A and B are shown apart, each in its own frame.
Chain A
Amino acid sequence: MKLEAKNITFGYKKSKTILNDVNLTITESERVALSAPSGFGKTTFCQILAGYEKPWSGQILLDGKPLPKKGYSPVQMIWQHPERAVDPAIRIGDTLAQCPDLDPAVIKGLGIEKDWYQRFPGELSGGEIQRFCIAAALGKETRFLIADEISTMLDLITQSQIWHFLLSETKKRRIGMAFVSHSSDLTDRIATKIVAMEKE
């Protein structure tokens, strides 16, 4: 399996393009670190890869086919700010239930405890919410994960807990991964390939 970004061009305002003709290929069980100076549009590119934004031109192809519009997406994204990624008005267990086929091993591997299910996001720490977001993004159909600075706001112990789990899970299930991190030490630990994005 491979995820391809072909000739992606994108901008938020008509006058200013952020991404200009960007190409990237990720194959299964590959962990690609995207590295670029700040303001380059790494977050935007992640959102395009996962199908959250539509590029002006270019395509995202999964094994040569465009991403499905409906149903559980095989390309899932994990966000930088977990507390914005869950509905504050519903219990976290209900948010997790959106993922159609949860693997109990994932829940266990992430250290999610049963009594957290009944809590609202306001009653959980960022690290705890992020575990739920990751669990929901690791459904049975997930083939690729896009991780945008997912541990920046967490303490180092939680960061290493989460990354250890993600590493073993993606290796086991041959899930491909693209991630962004500002920490070069972390990147060295995780990445199988580093792609530097540069302005022409």
Chain B
Amino acid sequence: MANLTLVQAVRDALMTEMALDPTIVLMGEDVGLNGGVFRATEGLQKEFGEERVMDTPLAESGIIGLALGMALNGMRPVPEIQFMDFIYPAFDQIVSEVAKLRYRSGGDFKCPMVIRTPYGGGIKGGHYHSQSTEAYFAHTAGLKVVIPSNPYDTKGLLIAAMRDEDPVLFMEPKRLYRSLKGEVPEEAYTVEIGKAQVVRPGSDVTLIAWGAMVPVCLKAAELCEPRGADCEVIDLRTLVPLDEETILESVRKTGRVVIVHEAQKTCGFGAEISALISEKAILSLEAPIIRVAGLDTPFPYTLEHIYLPDPERVALAVGKVKNF
């Protein structure tokens, strides 16, 4: 076991799996010599050579299109998009090509790859280094969307993603890259894609979150305890495919739900979860479902701490559903 940060767990997963699978190739902007702008690929080019850790020209659509071609021809590409905010030139390659290839060719072709990208705010990145736009991608059939919230899950989910037969968008909460550490086994292991985790059991209110909002919810749960609400916190870990059973089981128990995400509220993934609960567990509900989300504005710079959900805002929402 090693005590690693989340970004070290990313590197550890890549390192571990690359040693086992010689077809894995990393590519992206600054991932080689510089080890990635967040150092997620630090030292990997030295370890595995320039043919397995490639600095590419500055073109996101190129990076993903290239990865698709390599995936067809026997490689396991793990392209990095430096910031999720820069992914849009590649949107066409991801949603029109990568996500649909298996289906459009009747299963004739597949292109397993893991698109790694740091996402999210709280680091003074303004609107081009802070967004969390998982909903665009969760809305695209054919693509899996995975978002870890701690170092252990990061390694296990990333290795699982690299072994998956389908393309995976692997979103890394950059706010948590260095802000928390956890025990991570040295060997290769997987955490199953499509399984949520109850990270804090509770009986009164269910908090549902992913990525950087999981620690926010855990802190909110602590705030709520002396105020008389026992919160259960669910870390979804995977948005697509969604672990419906873990959500519904918790809702049947608590009857009260607060969904927390940093993306803007309208058409955020919280809306999907809310719809799911009303379709499949409406009779268990004791209060309206509340979404604590980013504002319906672009991401700000100076006032990001007001834009982003924080423990107190979540706790206020818990109070509302508890006292409904």
> Do the two shown chains form a genuine complex with each other?
no
Could you list which residues of chain A lie within 8 angstroms of chain B, going by C-beta atoms? none
